[in-house]
């Protein structure tokens, strides 16, 4: 037995090396392609994801900022709208009073009665104006130029003081609720610009401190030059309003009363006939309140909001924002009226900001701002607020404030950067894993391929080795392949073959010996058989020779046939190759002559013996003086039948006799036709069928024997024959036949018996030619001399 695990190195060019190369190469190629594709796809996916996420995040951030800006703008607008509403409410009440003078005076009188402090003024000698005492709901100031000689308000002014007191009923409630406001007030018409304000403050005193000279000039012209005239223009034609709304806003300025930066909101009051201005209702909010909303904007970490006028003047921004945008406050008193605040974007130290146009809705802009010598990218979104009527100086114009939101781009992008970093990290991780997986797969596949190749090729190399060893005539080799595949099957087949080869080669000699022995046995058997055959042949030959001898031995001698004066007898007998049982005899007893002819069935010794018996019995009967032809045949049959039963010779014979006593020729017994050729050339064929029956079939045949006399005279010729003559065949398979026999007899009738027989036999032999003689040929000619 041979171990299948041969320690054969996988040399280059071996099946295993090729196998590993092909499979490994294919797998490696596959892995590299799939791995490369995977890596490429991961990279692309990462790139796409980054882009997608970046775009998404940027869009989201921008959307967020935009939304933030929108909501902030909405808040600012809402705040302003609330203030507007409060002002409109106050204005509505005052306007309703103006429109109903009667009620106006009655309400005014009623308030004067119930709240005298609100309408009772006291003149300030030093300041030269009149004002009610503290403790009232509102303060009302009456300037010097509205006082009479007696330092009391002019009567028309007094009326206004009284009717304007209706403010006390509305303003406290409006101040308490609604938008947070600094103060609400009523300013009279240009003719009587009294100033009634809730809550109560030292109003006139503050004015004196902040705005010296105001007490001598008309209030409107001094504080808000051009505003009143604008309103008068509106009264003439409402269409001249820059914005279809009566509310008019001022630019931020320092409040004379509180000293805070404020924005005033006015709603002009009209005369009942709506042809002129009848004063105004107003409310102040501090810039802080407005800016609060804006300044509270906090986007990302350091994002901020700002509110700017259309001229770039920033009205609200937190300190960080102020610094970032490089704004410089310049409170220049070059303007007239209320002191404004100048903190314009145009004056920014940042060129990008200075360039930033705020008069257009620009949406998102990317700006680079200088910070400590670096350019830092920022995102700026600017949103226009709903337009309003604005007075800063001169006529009222349309103004739309802008709200800006400024965020460092880095902070907005922070999440994007984070996402990108995460994606990149994930990508790197995937790539590493992928490479690891490829390497692992390679390792596993390599191990598997090598193992499989070893497994597969070990079988094949085992087979190859084993085949070589068989070639080297080592037939004991067997392979141990356990795999359940074709190689395994080949191994099994190989083992079976090897076994057979081994068996055959190892057992060749034995086989040869066996075969030789068998052949010898066969030879011996053949020899034995040959010997047997030879013996049999000899026996048969001997038998046949004996039969032939018997047959010929009992035939009458030639001279016996010549003993008759009256008759000329010639006979011919030729036994067939297998010796039949033809019989003829000529028995002489005294002057009686008995000529017999017969044919025993079959061939061989038994037929000869039966014929010999017939001859002996016939001779015995003849000698016993049996002259009755019928009795003769009956007795002969009787004797023969008994002998046939005894000898179990399963045969019979035809037998006919001619009895001649010198005068009569008597025919008896059944045999072939007797041919008689008369001297005159007539040919007679005598049928013998009714003259007897075959001998040896029946114990007693006396009933069947008949005799027939044949006329026999000088020159007549009688021919006796056996069926060997008539049934002789030529090459064509034709029979010689009785007619040919008759023709030949007729042809030869004048010749001697000898010649007749010889002639007929010659013709017959010519006829037969090279054909086998199947049956004995017997011919007898009897001629009457």
Partner 1 sequence: MEISDENFRVWAEKNEVYFDGVFRLAGPDAYAPIYSLISGLLHEGHKQVTFNLTGLEFLNSSGINLLAKLTIEARKMDDLLLVVKGTSQYPWQAKSLPNLKKLHPLIDLRLA
Find out whether 453 and 20 touch, Cβ atoms under 8 Å. yes
Of 342 and 578, the one with the shorter C-beta distance to partner 1 is 578
293 binding partner 1? (CB under 8 A):
no
603 binding partner 1? (CB under 8 A):
yes
Of 403 and 610, the one with the shorter C-beta distance to partner 1 is 610
Report the alpha-carbon distance of residue 503 to residue 555 in Å, rounded: 71
Least distance to partner 1, CB of residue 704, Å? 5
Of 225 and 694, the one with the shorter C-beta distance to partner 1 is 694
Q: How far is CA 466 from the centre of its chain?
A: 43
Of 585 and 672, the one with the shorter C-beta distance to partner 1 is 672
Least distance to partner 1, CB of residue 778, Å? 14
**689-714 CB burial, b ≥16 within 10 A, e <16:** eebbbbbbeeeebeebbbbeebebee
For helices 409-471 and 486-506, angle between their N-to-C axes, nearest 10 degrees = 10
Contacts of 514 by beta carbon, 8 Å cutoff, 6+ apart: none
Q: Which of 279, 604, 608, 669 binds partner 1 (CB under 8 A)?
A: 604
**Strand blocks (E) in 277-426:** 277-286, 304-308, 314-317, 363-371, 374-384, 388-391, 397-399, 402-408
704 binding partner 1? (CB under 8 A):
yes
Q: Which of 120, 271, 601, 643 binds partner 1 (CB under 8 A)?
A: 601
Q: How far is CA 586 from CA 279, 416, 519, 663, 782, in A?
A: 200, 153, 59, 17, 11
Sign of CA dihedral 556, 560, 562, 568: negative
Least distance to partner 1, CB of residue 569, Å? 26
**Of 86-94, 342-350, 490-498, 687-695: span binding partner 1 (CB under 8 A):** 687-695
543 binding partner 1? (CB under 8 A):
no
Q: Which of 693, 725, 748, 782 binds partner 1 (CB under 8 A)?
A: 693
Three-state SS at 2:
coil
94 binding partner 1? (CB under 8 A):
no
**Of 51-59, 139-147, 520-528, 596-604: span binding partner 1 (CB under 8 A):** 596-604
**Of 135-143, 192-200, 237-245, 594-602: span binding partner 1 (CB under 8 A):** 594-602
Least distance to partner 1, CB of residue 758, Å? 27
241 binding partner 1? (CB under 8 A):
no
Radius of gyration of the chain (CA): 83
Q: What is the DSSP string of 614-649?
A: HHHHHHHHHHTT---HHHHHHHHHHHHHHHHHHHT-
CA angle 655, 656, 661 (to 5 degrees): 145
Q: Which of 235, 354, 683, 697 binds partner 1 (CB under 8 A)?
A: 697
Write the DSSP symbol of residue 152.
S
Write the DSSP symbol of residue 556.
P
Give how many residues touch partner 1 by CB under 8 A: 19
689 binding partner 1? (CB under 8 A):
yes
Least distance to partner 1, CB of residue 600, Å? 8
The residues in 627-666 that bind partner 1, with binding defined as CB under 8 A, are 650-652, 654
Q: Write out the two tokens for 627.
A: 């002259």
Site track 559-588 with partner 1 (rule: CB under 8 A), x = hit: -------------------x----------
Of 499 and 577, the one with the shorter C-beta distance to partner 1 is 577
Q: Which of 129, 694, 736, 756 binds partner 1 (CB under 8 A)?
A: 694
User: Could you tell me which of 306, 339, 341 has the C-alpha nearest to residue 322?
Assistant: 306
409 binding partner 1? (CB under 8 A):
no
Of 497 and 699, the one with the shorter C-beta distance to partner 1 is 699
* φ, ψ for residue 653, nearest 5 deg: -150, 155
HSE value, Cβ hemisphere, 13 Å, CA-based, for 248: 26
Q: What is the DSSP string of 480-511?
A: ----SSHHHHHHHHHHHHHHHHHHHHHTHHHH
Identify the bridge partners of residue 721 per DSSP, sorted by sequence position.
779
Of 383 and 603, the one with the shorter C-beta distance to partner 1 is 603
Q: Which of 86, 599, 635, 716 binds partner 1 (CB under 8 A)?
A: 599
Q: Which of 117, 556, 602, 759 binds partner 1 (CB under 8 A)?
A: 602
Of 656 and 756, the one with the shorter C-beta distance to partner 1 is 656
**For every residue of 586-617, which 3-state class applies, written as one string?**
EEEECCEEEEEEEEECCCCHHHHHHHHHHHHH
Report the alpha-carbon distance of residue 731 to residue 306 in Å, rounded: 148
**Of 183-191, 396-404, 694-702, 748-756: span binding partner 1 (CB under 8 A):** 694-702
698 binding partner 1? (CB under 8 A):
yes
Residues that bind partner 1 (CB under 8 A): 578, 599, 601-604, 650-652, 654, 670, 689, 693-694, 697-698, 704, 723, 774
């Amino acid at each position: 037995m041979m171990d299948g695990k041969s320690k054969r190195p996988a040399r280059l060019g071996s099946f295993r090396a090729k196998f590993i190369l092909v499979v490994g190469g294919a797998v490696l190629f596959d892995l590299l392609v799939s791995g490369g594709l995977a890596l490429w796809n991961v990279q692309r996916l990462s790139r796409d994801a980054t882009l997608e996420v970046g775009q998404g995040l940027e869009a989201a951030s921008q959307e967020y900022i935009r939304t933030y800006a929108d909501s902030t703008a909405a808040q600012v607008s809402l705040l302003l709208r609330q203030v507007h509403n409060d002002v409109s409410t106050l204005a509505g009440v005052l306007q309703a009073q103006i429109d109903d003078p009667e009620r106006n005076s009655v309400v005014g009188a009623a308030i004067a009665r119930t709240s005298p402090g609100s309408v009772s003024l006291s003149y300030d000698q030093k300041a030269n104006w009149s004002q009610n005492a503290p403790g009232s709901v509102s303060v009302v100031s009456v300037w010097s130029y509205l006082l009479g000689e007696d330092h009391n308000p002019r009567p028309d002014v007094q009326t206004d003081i009284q009717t304007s007191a209706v403010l006390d009923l509305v303003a406290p409630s409006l101040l308490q609720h609604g938008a947070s406001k600094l103060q609400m007030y009523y300013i009279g018409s240009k003719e009587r610009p009294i100033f009634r304000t809730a809550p109560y403050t030292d109003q006139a005193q503050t004015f004196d401190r902040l705005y010296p000279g105001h007490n001598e000039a008309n209030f409107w012209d001094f504080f808000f030059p051009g505003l009143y005239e604008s309103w008068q223009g509106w009264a003439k034609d409402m269409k001249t309003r820059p914005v279809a709304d009566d509310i008019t806003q001022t630019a931020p300025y320092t409040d004379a009363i509180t000293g805070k930066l404020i924005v005033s909101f006015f709603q002009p009051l009209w005369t009942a006939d709506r042809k002129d201005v009848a004063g105004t209702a107003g409310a102040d909010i501090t810039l802080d309140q407005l800016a609060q909303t804006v300044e509270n904007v906090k986007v990302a970490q350091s994002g901020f909001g700002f509110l700017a006028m259309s001229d770039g003047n920033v009205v609200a921004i937190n300190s960080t924002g102020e610094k970032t945008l490089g704004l410089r406050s310049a409170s220049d008193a070059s303007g007239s009226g209320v002191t404004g605040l100048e903190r314009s974007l145009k004056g920014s130290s940042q060129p990008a900001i200075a360039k930033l146009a705020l008069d257009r809705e620009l949406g998102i802009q990317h700006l680079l701002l200088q910070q400590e010598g670096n350019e830092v990218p920022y995102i700026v979104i600017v949103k226009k607020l709903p337009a309003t009527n604005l007075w800063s100086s001169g006529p009222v114009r349309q103004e739309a404030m802008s709200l800006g939101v400024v965020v460092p781009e880095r902070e907005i992008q922070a999440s994007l950067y984070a996402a990108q970093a995460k994606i990149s990290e994930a990508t790197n991780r995937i790539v590493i894993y992928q490479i690891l997986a490829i390497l692992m797969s390679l390792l596993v596949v390599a191990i598997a391929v090598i193992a499989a190749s070893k497994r597969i090729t070990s079988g094949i190399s085992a087979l190859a080795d084993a085949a070589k060893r068989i070639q080297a005539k080592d037939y004991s080799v067997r392979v141990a392949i356990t795999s359940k595949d074709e190689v395994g099957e080949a191994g099994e087949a190989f083992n079976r073959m090897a076994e057979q080869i081994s068996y055959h080669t190892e057992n060749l000699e034995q086989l040869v010996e066996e075969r030789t022995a068998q052949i010898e046995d066969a030879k011996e058997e053949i020899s034995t058989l040959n010997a047997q055959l030879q013996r049999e042949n000899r026996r048969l030959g001997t038998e046949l020779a004996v039969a032939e001898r018997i047959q010929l031995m009992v035939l009458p001698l030639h001279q016996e046939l010549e003993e008759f004066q009256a008759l000329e007898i010639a006979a011919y007998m030729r036994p067939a190759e297998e010796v039949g049982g033809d019989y003829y005899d000529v028995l002489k007893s005294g002057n009686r002559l008995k000529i017999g002819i017969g044919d025993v069935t079959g061939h061989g010794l038994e037929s000869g013996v039966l014929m010999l018996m017939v001859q002996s019995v016939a001779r015995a009967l003849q000698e016993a003086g049996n002259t009755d032809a019928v009795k003769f045949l009956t007795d002969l049959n009787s004797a023969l039948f008994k002998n046939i039963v005894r000898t179990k010779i399963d045969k019979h014979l035809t037998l006919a006799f001619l009895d001649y006593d010198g005068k009569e020729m008597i025919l008896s017994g059944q045999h072939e036709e007797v041919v008689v050729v008369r001297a005159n050339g007539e040919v007679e064929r005598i049928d013998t069928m009714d003259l007897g029956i075959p001998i040896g079939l029946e114990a007693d045949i006396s009933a069947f024997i008949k005799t027939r006399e044949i006329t026999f005279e000088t020159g007549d010729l009688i021919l006796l024959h056996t069926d060997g003559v008539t049934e002789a065949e030529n090459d064509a398979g034709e029979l010689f036949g009785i007619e040919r026999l008759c023709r030949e007899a007729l042809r030869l009738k004048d010749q001697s018996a000898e010649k007749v027989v010889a002639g007929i036999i010659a013709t017959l032999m010519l006829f037969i030619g090279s054909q086998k003689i199947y049956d004995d040929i017997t011919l007898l000619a009897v001629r009457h001399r």
